[in-house]
Structure 1
């Protein structure tokens, strides 16, 4: 089945995949925030990526993807891995630095601007068709996000700096989606995730070496913190990327991107339940608007073209 055929209509399987990936990213942010209270950002990222990479490569070997990929030249391996420089490399590197200065709620909500970046880049680079209805629903979803962001109290320059790092990471994530768009048509999302996250980890190691920021693996940190970091790596990297790449094989990235607006719903809800972060009435209204807009996008995809 080619991507062209599957993208012409509604695909409930893709909607389920993309929603699940949003849930993984949202809840993964909450777990990361808890770990960051004890472990430095780049160390957290190294643990998360290492765990995810091990899981993905084991699954790729088990399913025979590595054997098939060996039939291609090394240049193909490098080409498929390149998007990993932007995400998780730059995206999560910047994002975790920002998260250490901001809150899990803010990080999840700023991350919801990714669909807007993707929508613009999909039109600019690939001339992907974007209907007026989709633009309006995307704007409505962003209105919900902005309501929630606007309800957050001002906490000084440190929060602002953290949010700027997160925003820069979000743009890198959007660019990653566009780079990966064509690769998933011919290659399995599992092996793509493994390759991209491997090169992402290499970028993080080089980044830390270049700027003299070493990884800190202190023996005084409780084992449960390291286990949480590993768990967040599986949820936020292995599962989330695998699910998302699987979804964009079936629907256009301009549609899939809108479901990423659900990340704040999972992120803010998880931060409220597990981290005790404040949830205001305006935040609740913003979340409701976002869910309504994304639900309408899903319904519109179920209607005949």
Structure 2
């Protein structure tokens, strides 16, 4: 059934996003001795914008027709907010926080992003978060915190507050991106990467950061393309199929992925923390994957545009100009419907409970 196929796609995308982002962290850390943190953030985002922009251009030329719905005029306000919170304010606050906060404390505090994402999705957008999902998310988050723990955390200071504010910005960013998850993820990530990269590189150079040699720039931008760009595209696919709360919970696995890469690729020691974190995250994953949410729900009439196939939610007529084959993209109408089946808060099931 296509509904379950979409769910599996969403889970795989969210986990893939966590793997790429978490796995890229040790590689980015290896460059930090030669590149300032703020400039590094800018170069990572430039890699996203330039790399994905080139990929999108080549794909468009070869395909001949769009595989995803493009952003429209009405999306620009949401996109501007996403870039502001996730691409500019979040990295800037993180750089400020790192100036005053030890690395161990910062690593622990950064896990607040998952909590912020889930909390906003639940409290503001009213995504369904039952006891099973709440316990699963808590287990994943606790595993990430244990993994980051290195002997204590300083009391609240300006650095800690700045990092917590950065996590809040990224939680807002994740939930706002959910608003655009039906649109082309590569286009969203490209624009966000270009704007955030130019702003952060410009700010870093204005405060005296020196550009590294061309090889280091290429390395940073490549890490950004894979660990931030492709990861963001997968994250948006996860939002499309699972909603913000569940995608954010899966993404909280990123610290574990980073630690695993550090152990197997960089020779870091295997620690009891890693084993405990793996166990807790495994429990959290099981609780999420075993979820079955089913009840009578009402689909209101809706007209929108996104890549789709003709399943139980897409039974509509086509105009002569609409593209053939499936999946395809065109503006289409959903008739009002009341039915019952297992579902997640994807782009067609964001209803109140």
For Structure 1 versus Structure 2, the TM-score category normalised by the shorter chain is 0.7 to 0.9
Question: Structure 1 residues 15 and 121, CA, compared in 2 at 3 Å: closer, same or farther?
Answer: same
Determine if contact 2:147/2:256 at 8 Å carries over to the other structure.
Answer: no
Deviation at 1:245, TM superposition (A): 0.6
1:39 aligns with 2:30: no
Distance 1:83 1:55 in 2: 20
Deviation at 1:238, TM superposition (A): 1.2
Matches within 5 A, 1:249-268: 249-268=240-259
Question: Structure 1 residues 292 and 247, CA, compared in 2 at 3 Å: closer, same or farther?
Answer: same
Deviation at 1:9, TM superposition (A): 8.9
Deviation at 1:79, TM superposition (A): 4.2
Match of 1:153 among 148, 151, 154: 151
Matches within 5 A, 1:211-230: 212-219=206-213, 224-230=215-221
TM-score w.r.t. the length of structure 1 is 0.80
Matches within 5 A, 1:31-110: 31-64=27-60, 72-73=72-73, 76-77=75-76, 79-95=78-94, 102-103=102-103, 110=109
Residue range with higher mean Cα deviation, 89-98 or 292-301? 89-98
Higher strand fraction: Structure 1 or Structure 2?
Answer: 2
> Per-residue displacement from partner, 1:214-265 (whole Å, max 9, x unpaired)?
441144xxx5533331221112221111110111111121111110121111
Higher relative contact order (CA 8 A, sep 6+): 1
TM-score w.r.t. the length of structure 2 is 0.70
Deviation at 1:189, TM superposition (A): 0.9
Match of 1:19 among 6, 15, 20: 15
Determine if contact 1:9/1:302 at 8 Å carries over to the other structure.
Answer: no
Distance 2:152 2:132 in 1: 34
Determine if contact 2:185/2:237 at 8 Å carries over to the other structure.
Answer: yes
Higher CA-based Rg: 2
Partner of 2:186: 190
Partner of 2:331: none
> Per-residue displacement from partner, 1:133-164 (whole Å, max 9, x unpaired)?
111222222232333334x135879xx87665
Partner of 1:180: 177
Deviation at 1:44, TM superposition (A): 1.2
Determine if contact 2:75/2:180 at 8 Å carries over to the other structure.
Answer: no
Partner of 1:295: 286
Distance 1:89 1:42 in 2: 11
Distance 1:161 1:268 in 2: 27
Determine if contact 1:32/1:232 at 8 Å carries over to the other structure.
Answer: yes
Deviation at 1:297, TM superposition (A): 0.7
Residue 291 of structure 2 aligns to a residue whose secondary structure is: helix
Residue range with higher mean Cα deviation, 117-126 or 239-248? 117-126
> Per-residue displacement from partner, 1:178-218 (whole Å, max 9, x unpaired)?
11111122x11111111222232344256447xx4244114
Question: Structure 1 residues 301 and 31, CA, compared in 2 at 3 Å: closer, same or farther?
Answer: farther
Gaps of 5+ in 2: 61-65, 295-340, 343-353
Question: Structure 1 residues 172 and 57, CA, compared in 2 at 3 Å: closer, same or farther?
Answer: same
Matches within 5 A, 1:128-139: 128-139=127-138
Question: Structure 1 residues 301 and 170, CA, compared in 2 at 3 Å: closer, same or farther?
Answer: farther
Question: Structure 1 residues 258 and 218, CA, compared in 2 at 3 Å: closer, same or farther?
Answer: closer
Match of 2:166 among 166, 169, 187: 169
Question: Structure 1 residues 190 and 218, CA, compared in 2 at 3 Å: closer, same or farther?
Answer: closer
Distance 1:231 1:179 in 2: 26
Partner of 1:115: 114
Residue 248 of structure 1 aligns to a residue whose secondary structure is: helix
Gaps of 5+ in 1: none
Higher helix fraction: Structure 1 or Structure 2?
Answer: 1
Deviation at 1:124, TM superposition (A): 2.1
